[in-house]
Each structure stands twice: as structure tokens, then as C-alpha cells.
Amino acid sequence: MRKLHTFHGGIHPAEHKLESSAQPSLRAPLPQRLVLPLKQHIGSAAKALVQAGDKVLKGQLLAAAEGMLSAAIHAPTSGTVAAIDFHAVAHPSGLPELCIVLQPDGEDRWLEHAGFDYRALPRDELLNRLRDAGIVGLGGATFPTHVKLNNAQHIQTLILNGAECEPWITTDDRLMCERAAEIVQGIEILRYLAQPADTLIGIEDNKPQAIAAMQQACAGSGIEVVVIPTLYPSGGEKQLIKILTGKEVPSGGRPLNIGVVCSNVATAFAIHRMVNHGEPLISRLITVTGNVKSPRNIEALIGTPIAELVQLAGGALEDANGYIVGGPMMGLEVTNAQLPVVKGSNCIIVKSDKLFPAPPPALPCIRCTRCVQVCPAELQPQDLYWFARAKNLGKAQSYNLFDCIECGACSYVCPSNIPLVQYYRFAKSEIWANERDKEAANLARERHEFHLLRIEREKQDKADKLAQKEKAALAAKAAAATQAQPIPSQPAQSQPAPDPATVSATDAVAIDALRAQVREIAHPEAKHTKE
Amino acid sequence: MLIALLVMSFIALALGAVLGFSALKFRVEGNPLVDKIDAILPQTQCGQCSFPGCKPYATAIAAGEADINRCPPGGEEGIRKLADLLGKEFIPFGEDTAAPKPKSVAVIDENTCIGCTLCIQACPVDAIAGAAKQMHTIIAVECTGCELCVAPCPVDCITMVPLPQTLQTWKWQYPEDAQEKKAP
């Protein structure tokens, strides 16, 4: 039996898992229309490769990964690209994002595809294929998997995250119950890539069925299923690593710094589908729960509108008033039912006042430090709140604001109902904005200094040239004067007429110099354009 | 008595020599306060403070010749930072100073541009590309929005366009403002 460790704090919110976890999952029929945002992952948006009007097949590459940190997007079904346009997405800003809109043709015709033997491929090639298949972390953060595994070789521990600690969400639970063997095949691919000494699967003890299924599937494979106590947020990456290994990810660091790679079980499943069946990431399991008739998990194509999934779960009940994308602790409240589900959407909760009453108005902080007791990142939430509220951003940063995982445990226990996480998000985005401004100011300063230098240099060049010309003109004049005065002893009245050729030459030089001066004064810009 | 005097004067001379040497060796070039003030200023180089750029304004502030409330692009936040740095009280914008505007970039109407290069000469950060009798255009990422190119244009083809909000520049609202908005 593995010795388990504990992380600091944590809370026990009402679980609400049984509503949806008992129902077998359902495959959603083809939706009316699919909306695929070009940016469904952390990093830069994918680059569209198709045009409006193009006919595409299921699994066809629609947008390629662009830059180091990016992932590809594929057609979830066959059909026609209706448009590439700005469309509302599930983002707290409510700003529209560039999306590919796909009109399904109803045939669901696959592009020719087949699995391949990953052991026969070089490691780089396999990672490239993960990138081109659009595989990202499906636990919620949507970090591109090929980037995560890029430097992960001969690591100590590979951790598969099946904790699923957030209330209401049951997708990983259902996936482990129904697809345990396939998840294990995906884990084998991850093990091949990362070559870990240990491979662990962490599952909370409120999922007995999933634990049994995974234990059965892992028998004899060397993968250890570890049952951990139910406590929010044990499914947080850093928290799960602490529970299973006792090691802490350093502040500002990555799990790889301590020889650990953590990946979601759903990601392992997606890797298996891609490697062994040649299917890119075009669908995922989503929990649809809350104020609906029959809460359940649905295997939906990426890009399906929320409204169609809610219909499949029996439809919203009468007092429904909006949706939460993600879980109730960390998710995002939206009202638009036409928003598409993306790679990172693991849950849609239909809200009602009964299930999610509006929070009472916030009262002043009484410094009870209950938030300190529950903070899993061992921060001082009350101080961070104080600094964020006073817009004292530097101080907030020095109290390790960026180690906050925004789990919401502090807001959950706050007796004054202060929306603490909102303050931290505000402070974080202000700090990022200030850094952007600072960079822009530095660039402008550099360019302005260069501009002044350039003006100075041009002035200097001009002065030098003028001096040279004057010198030349003087020299010419002097030369002409010496030629013109060959017999100075002769009387003034008998001064011979100067040689006409010499006179005209001297004058021409002087006139040229004058002209050049005038030209320069009149058209200073003409000079450097000629050069 | 004499030995004591000699010892003391020797120590005084030695220390004086060390101080004199370090004053020459470790001399700080320029006024470090000017650089600190300059780091707070937004570097738009717009001249709205009546100085020909951010650095001259910073120099004037450091010399005590200018107030800290003359930089509209820096906003009230900028005044607050300057007040903190200099140990002064916060003062609101003066009446003769323009009101802060949302961050904008200049855009040249390329159909109207006659290629006179006057805007190129006015731009303090060389953010305009073009040549005589050729169409000009603005390098948007390098434009500071100083508006200095607008006035010299003989055909009025330059307009200031406020920067739209994107997912990259979007910020979370201050929670108390957000609540006030929801309340009514």
C-alpha cells in the first residue's frame, strides 16, 4: 500500500456527482451546425487552412498548429465550411473569437485514417503527430500535450489524473468506467514517451466503480491505481502530485522540475484513439447536469452548441436561468446557449436559483483567516485580497499571487461572502497588462533614442558635406586666383583680360556649390531619398 | 599628545584619499532620478507636457522645474506613481493639460496620401514607413499614439483610431466596479 501525503487545506463542498454518474454515456447525434474556435488551447491560435465553401471530410485538418505552443483543429464531421468568422465563445470577456463554422452534410464520412505502430516511430515524429492531431490536456487547462512531453524523458513519476474533485463533474468517472482498457492503452503510449520509473493513477474514493474498472484494466501492467480521499481540490495538478509523491512543485515551476509529469485520463484516452485508430481529437465526453431532466454524460463533437447538449439531457427545467461551463468552483457563468463546447469543456451545468442561489452581498473582511486554513497553495488569501483591493499590485505579487490556482476554496469558506478569486484574477490581469505596457514603453524609448541619434547623425553628415563643398569651392577659387594673377607687377589699367575659359570654370564651381546649398535648404528630405 | 595628533591626521588623510578615489572611480553618470522618472513615463514622446519628449520632462521634474501632473497618456495612475517616487502629494491634472484619451494608433488613408514625408519627419519613434512621392503607412505595433503626425499632414489623411479590445488585451474588471454595474 502506497503511503499517501496530504496537501494544505482543502474543502468538502456538496458533491452532486450521483445525479450524472450512474447513467451510461450517450453519443450525441450530428448537430445542426458546428462552431470551432481557432484557439481552444493555451498558446497561439491555430492557422486556418480552409476557406468558406470548402468541402471537408471528418477528421480533416482545418487549422494547423502555429508556433511553438499551439495545437491543430480538425473537422468533427464531414460537411461544408460555411464561414470563418468571429463568433461568441465561452470566455469571461464575452469578446468574439475567430471560428470556423462547419455545416454538416449528414453523411459523417471519414477521411482515410488508420492507427500506426508508435514503437516503430522516432520520438520526435510521434510528438509531431500528437501536435498535428490537436491533442491537448483535457483536464481543463488545455495545455498542448506534445509541448508537455517534449522534455519529459526518463522521469521519476508519471501521474494520471482521475481525481475529478470538482462537484457535479463526472466525465472522467464515466470514461474510466466505460473505457478503462482504452485509457490503459493510452497510458502505455505516455509511458513509452516519458519512460517513467513509476506510473500512478490517482482516483478519489467517491468513484468506486471507476476504481474497480481501472484496477482490473491495469492488472499486471505495472500501473498502480491509488485511491485518494475525497477533498477539493485534490485534482489540482500540484495538489495531486503532493498527495501521491509527497513532493512539492516549486513556486513558479513545472512538475517536470521535480521529475513528474501529470496528465488527465481523458487525455490518455484521446492519445489512444489517435495512435491506435488514427482519429484526431474531434470529440470528448461532457457532463450535462444541474437543472436538467436527466443529467448524464454525452460524447459530443467539438463545436456542438450548448443548447443541443442540454436537449439531449432531457432539456432544461422551467426555472433554469443560465449555464455554467466547467464546474461550479472554477467554471464560467454564461447565458448564451449557442456557445460551442471546446476541447477544454468538461461540464455544462444548467443553473437555477434553487441550486445556485445568488451570493449575498459582500461584507467587510473580518480577518478570520478561514481562507488561510483552506488555501491549498499555502498562500495568505486575506492579505492578497487586501493588496488586490487596494490595487497594490507589487505587494500582491511579492505575496506569491501567481501561485494561486484560483480553486475558489477561499471564497467558498469566506463568512463575509467576499468574491476573493475575482480580486486575484483582477490583480493578475492588471499585472500582465502593466508588463505589456512596460514592454511597449521600453520599445518606444529605444526607438525614440535611435530617432534622436539618427537626426543628430544626419545633421552631422550634412554639416560635413557642406564643409567639404565649401573647402572645394575655396580651393578652386584660390587656384583660379593664382592663375589669374601671373604678372602682378604690371600697372592696374593695363591688367590683361582674364582667360575666358578659366573664368567660366571658376564661376561654374562656385555656382554649383551655391545651388547645392540652396537645394539642401529647400528640400532636406530629397537628399536622403536620393542616397 | 603629538603621536595622537599624527595618528588622527594620518587616519583622516587615508580615509579622505579613499573617499576621493571612490568619488572618481564609482561616479554615477547622469542623474539616476531622471532614469527612474523616465521609467514611469509612458514614452509616447507626444510633447503634451510642453517638453520635447519624455526624457526632457523627466529631467525637468527631477530638477523641480515641472509639476508631476502634466502627462495625460500616463493617466492618474502615472501621477500616483510619480508622487510615490518623489514623496510628493497626488495632484489632479492641471487645467491647461489635455484630458487622458483611450490608447489609439494613427492610421493613414492610403488613397489620400500624397507622399510628402512631413509625417515621417514628425514621428518621434520612426513608426512611419514611406518615401517622397510614395505612399506612407504606419507600423501599428510601433506607433505610440502621440498624434504628432496628425497636424503636419497637408491633406488630413491621418486619423487616430482607438485600439479595439482583444482577448490578448482584455482585463478582468475591478470586482467592486463589476458589482456596481450589476446592481441597477
Residue with cell 482585463: B171
Answer yes or no: are the C-beta atoms of A184 and A194 closer than 8 Å: no
Position A511 scores a pLDDT of 60
Per residue in A316-331, pLDDT (tens digit) is 888 888 999 999 999 9
| CB atoms B126 and A447 under 8 Å | yes
A333 close contact with B: CB closer than 8 A: no
How would residue A528 be classed by pLDDT, with cut points 50, 70 and 90? Answer: very low
Q: Which fold has domain B104-162?
A: Alpha-Beta Plaits (3.30.70)
Position A523 scores a pLDDT of 53
Whether A125 has a pLDDT exceeding 80, the answer reads yes
Contacting residues for A490 by C-beta, under 8 A, at least 6 apart = A496
This complex has an ipTM of: 0.83
A277: how many CB neighbours lie within 10 A of its CB?
A: 12
Q: Which residue from B142, B166, B169 is facing A447, i.e. has the nearest CB?
A: B142
Q: Indicate the residue type of A354.
A: K
How far is residue A482's CA from residue A484's CA, in Å, rounded to a whole number?
A: 5
Maximum Cα–Cα distance across chain B: 93
Q: Does domain B32-86 have CATH number 1.10.15.40?
A: yes
Residues A46-56: what's their mean pLDDT?
93
Q: Beta partners for A298?
A: A26, A286
Position A518 scores a pLDDT of 54
The segment(s) of chain B belonging to CATH 1.10.15.40 are 32-86
Residues A224-232: what's their mean pLDDT?
94
Position A74 scores a pLDDT of 95
Q: Which residues of B touch A440 (CB under 8 A)?
A: 43, 144
Position B98 scores a pLDDT of 80
Position A144 scores a pLDDT of 93
How would residue A525 be classed by pLDDT, with cut points 50, 70 and 90? Answer: very low
Distances (CA, A) of A348 to A310, A316, A410, B65: 8, 11, 23, 61
Answer yes or no: are the C-beta atoms of A77 and A58 closer than 8 Å: yes
Contacting residues for A78 by C-beta, under 8 A, at least 6 apart = A55, A56, A57, A58, A104, A105, A107, A108, A109, A110
Phi/psi for A516 (5° steps) reads -60, -40
Query: What does pLDDT average to over chain A?
Result: 89
How far is residue A88's CA from residue A334's CA, in Å, rounded to a whole number?
A: 11
How would residue B11 be classed by pLDDT, with cut points 50, 70 and 90? Answer: very high
Tell me the domains of chain A and their CATH numbers: 18-46+64-334 (3.40.50.11540), 364-485+498-531 (no CATH)
Sequence-ordered alpha helix ranges (H) in A53-138 = 123-132
Per residue in A380-405, pLDDT (tens digit) is 999 999 999 998 888 999 999 999 99
Whether A239 has a pLDDT exceeding 70, the answer reads yes
Q: How far is B174 from chain A (nearest CA, A)?
A: 6
What is the 3 state secondary structure string of chain B?
CHHHHHHHHHHHHHHHHHHHHHHHHCCCCCCHHHHHHHHHCCCCCCCCCCCCCHHHHHHHHHCCCCCCCCCHHHHHHHHHHHHHHHCCCCCCCCCCCCCCCCCEEEEECCCCCCCCCHHHHHCCCCCEECCCCCCCEECHHHCCCCCCCCCCCCCCCEEEEECCCCCCCCCCCCHHHHHHHHCC
Per residue in A17-50, pLDDT (tens digit) is 998 998 899 999 999 999 999 999 988 899 999 9
Q: How far is B59 from chain A (nearest CA, A)?
A: 15
Whether A504 has a pLDDT exceeding 90, the answer reads no
Whether A309 has a pLDDT exceeding 60, the answer reads yes
C-alpha cell at A221: 501492467
Per residue in B145-159, pLDDT (tens digit) is 999 999 999 999 999
Per residue in B47-106, pLDDT (tens digit) is 888 898 899 999 999 998 888 988 999 888 889 889 989 998 888 887 878 888 888 999
The segment(s) of chain B belonging to CATH 3.30.70.20 are 104-162
Per residue in A282-296, pLDDT (tens digit) is 999 999 999 999 999
Whether A161 has a pLDDT exceeding 60, the answer reads yes
Residues A179-190: what's their mean pLDDT?
94
Q: Which residue from B44, B166, B172 is facing A425, i.e. has the nearest CB?
A: B172
| CB atoms A444 and B170 under 8 Å | no
Estimate to the nearest angstrom the gap between the alpha carbon of B75 and the chain centroid: 11
| CB atoms A95 and B166 under 8 Å | yes
How far is residue A21's CA from residue A170's CA, in Å, rounded to a whole number?
A: 6
Interface of B with A (CB under 8 A): 38, 41-45, 53-54, 117, 120-121, 123-127, 131-132, 142, 144, 165-167, 169-176, 178-179
Whether A520 has a pLDDT exceeding 70, the answer reads no
Q: Which residue from A362, A389, A426 is facing B172, i.e. has the nearest CB?
A: A426
| CB atoms A444 and B117 under 8 Å | no
Whether A489 has a pLDDT exceeding 60, the answer reads no
C-alpha cell at A89: 465563445
Position A183 scores a pLDDT of 95
Answer yes or no: are the C-beta atoms of A210 and A160 closer than 8 Å: no
| CB atoms B175 and A426 under 8 Å | yes
C-alpha cell at A217: 484494466
B88: how many CB neighbours lie within 10 A of its CB?
A: 13
Q: Which residues of B touch A454 (CB under 8 A)?
A: 126
Q: Which of A363, A448, A456, A530 to mutate to test the interface with B (most CBs of B within 10 A)?
A: A448
Position A510 scores a pLDDT of 62
